[in-house]
């Protein structure tokens, strides 16, 4: 089997669509497989089924050039490819373990359509041992007479951040490839060679990612360990932020000094309302579940999750200290996506905060540049712009640090609001500017609230 620049990508979620578009950008011929008819039609027209900066432009160019084709036909995908990237979702399942039913369904469909050698590359986040399970699942569905040796599996975990996924794919810190067959690993390396060499148009010759070649189990564990560490780092700085509030210290200055230590680095040391999204919580729980299944107690992983949930409710308690009673108060909730530059609301801190406020009788009006509704919160009022959300509000809570929201005119904010409380859940506002507008500023880990100067 040799790589002929022919790649199939199974699944067109955040990972799969980015992989398909970027691999086509690198010059590969790519077939994307999507069984959802609505999403398939969008993709065939070069439209992404979700918001990700820079993706739609690359997607349209790749489709228009003919390098990227989308289909729901597994037979066609395998006919036109030799390397298959598996990018289907693995949502939380029972007892913390990921639900791999979509991976199993895709594997069975691939097995039924496979008649020539193929290399399966798992980018879906799957638990240790999944490479062997995946190969067995495909093998059980192979047509009569097809040699099981047509299957090779390599683990290639993804490290894409929503909001910067294109940049993360093309300019990564490292590319991890795990497999027991050196030839198979080499073939996947060849697919990534333009990124490793930064030889594609727009490549940065001064930034060449590190290639990590290892076994499958190690590669699968690397993904979980990376997300667990980043989540724990955020939870750590948030716990320090709470201590800062009690002793009157400033978490931003504490974190700055910590980050100057090259052993720590400044990344992921921003205090706030905590992490969200589809990966951190799921991956922490999956890694913890793996530990428990082997008789271990994952103390740090469990603590990181508890601190994160605690952080969301702390913001509500802060508000209760200012507004008594909370019942009947009007709250402007700015930023609903779990992070800027995405429309993803999965495990978004804003949902937890809004749910708690509504449950306590507050009237909550939300605004986000990309999120226009939260189906599970039908009583959450949605505003068309941030200042409309602030009309006669008793308090403002910033949850997501969109540029549009971090650059508010606080004199206009004060004019629109009937109350004076500004809770900065991301420590993005200038406390002095807030105070000069006659408002009360309170951040996370900032000692005591900033009282208006007049």
Element (H, E) at 381: strand 381-382
Rounded-to-integer distance, Cα 96 and Cα 323, Å:
37
Question: By the 8 A CB rule, do 227 and 39 touch?
Answer: no
Task: List pLDDT tens digits, range 368-411.
Answer: 999 999 999 999 999 999 999 999 999 999 999 999 999 999 99
CATH class of domain segment(s) 248-454: alpha beta
| Half-sphere exposure of residue 211: CA atoms within 13 angstroms, side-chain side | 15
Residues of the chain with CATH 3.40.50.720: 6-214, 248-454
Task: List pLDDT tens digits, range 350-364.
Answer: 999 999 999 999 999
Rounded-to-integer distance, Cα 17 and Cα 419, Å:
45
The CATH label, of 1.10.3720.10, 3.40.50.720, 3.30.565.10, 2.70.98.60, for the domain at 6-214 is 3.40.50.720
Residue 293, token pair as written in the block:
């299944």
Supply the pLDDT for residue 453: 57
Supply the pLDDT for residue 454: 53
Rounded-to-integer distance, Cα 40 and Cα 12, Å:
9
Supply the pLDDT for residue 3: 45
Task: List pLDDT tens digits, range 90-111.
Answer: 888 887 888 889 999 999 999 9
Task: List pLDDT tens digits, range 106-126.
Answer: 999 999 999 888 999 999 888
236 pLDDT above the threshold of 70: yes
74 pLDDT above the threshold of 70: yes
Q: Which residues are catalytic?
A: 279
Query: Between these two residues, 448 and 246, which has the higher pLDDT value?
Result: 246
Residue 113, token pair as written in the block:
């359509």
3-state secondary structure 206-275: CCCCEEEEECHHHHHHHHHHHHHHHHHHHHHHHHHHHHHHHHCCCHHHHHHHHHCCCCCCCCCCCCCCCC
Residue listed under structure tokens 């509000």: 393
């Amino acid at each position: 089997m040799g790589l002929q620049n022919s790649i199939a990508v199974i699944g067109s979620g955040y990972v799969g669509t980015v992989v398909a578009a970027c691999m086509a950008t690198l010059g590969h011929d790519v077939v994307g497989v999507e069984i959802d008819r609505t999403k398939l039609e969008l993709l065939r027209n070069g439209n992404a089924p979700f918001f990700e900066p820079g993706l739609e432009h690359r997607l349209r160019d790749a489709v228009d050039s003919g390098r990227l084709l989308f289909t729901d036909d597994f037979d066609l995908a395998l006919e036109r490819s030799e390397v298959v990237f598996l990018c289907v979702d693995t949502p939380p399942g029972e007892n913390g373990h990921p639900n791999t039913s979509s991976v199993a369904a895709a594997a069975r469909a691939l097995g039924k359509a496979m008649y020539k050698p193929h290399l399966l590359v798992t980018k879906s986040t799957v638990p240790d041992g999944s490479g062997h399970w995946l190969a067995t699942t495909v093998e059980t569905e192979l047509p009569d007479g097809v040699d099981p040796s047509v299957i090779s599996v390599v683990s290639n975990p993804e490290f894409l951040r929503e909001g910067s996924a294109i940049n993360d794919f093309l300019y990564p810190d490292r590319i991890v490839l795990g497999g027991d067959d050196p030839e198979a690993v080499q073939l996947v390396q060849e697919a990534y060679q333009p990124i490793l060499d930064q030889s594609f148009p727009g490549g940065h010759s001064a930034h060449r990612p590190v290639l990590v070649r290892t076994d499958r189990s190690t590669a699968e564990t690397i993904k979980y360990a990376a997300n667990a560490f980043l989540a724990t780092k955020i939870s750590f700085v948030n716990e320090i932020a709470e201590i800062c509030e009690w002793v009157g210290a400033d978490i931003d200055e504490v974190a700055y000094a910590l980050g100057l230590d090259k052993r720590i680095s400044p990344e992921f040391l921003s205090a706030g309302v905590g992490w969200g999204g589809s990966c951190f919580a799921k991956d922490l729980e999956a890694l913890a579940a793996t530990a428990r299944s082997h008789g271990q107690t994952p103390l740090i992983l469990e603590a990181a999750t508890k601190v994160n949930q605690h952080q969301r409710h702390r913001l509500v308690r802060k508000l209760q200290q200012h507004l008594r009673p909370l019942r009947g108060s009007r709250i402007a909730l700015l930023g609903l996506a779990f992070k800027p530059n995405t429309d993803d609301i999965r495990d978004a801190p804003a949902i937890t905060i809004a749910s708690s406020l509504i449950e306590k009788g507050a009237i909550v009006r939300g605004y986000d540049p990309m999120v226009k509704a939260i189906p599970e919160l039908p009583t959450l009022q949605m505003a068309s712009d941030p200042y409309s959300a602030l009309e006669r509000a008793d308090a403002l809570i910033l949850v997501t640090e969109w540029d549009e929201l971090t650059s508010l005119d606080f004199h206009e904010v004060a004019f629109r609001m009937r109350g004076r409380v500004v809770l900065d859940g991301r420590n993005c506002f200038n406390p002095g500017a807030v105070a000069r507008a006659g408002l009360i500023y309170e951040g996370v880990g900032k000692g005591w609230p900033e009282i208006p100067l007049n």
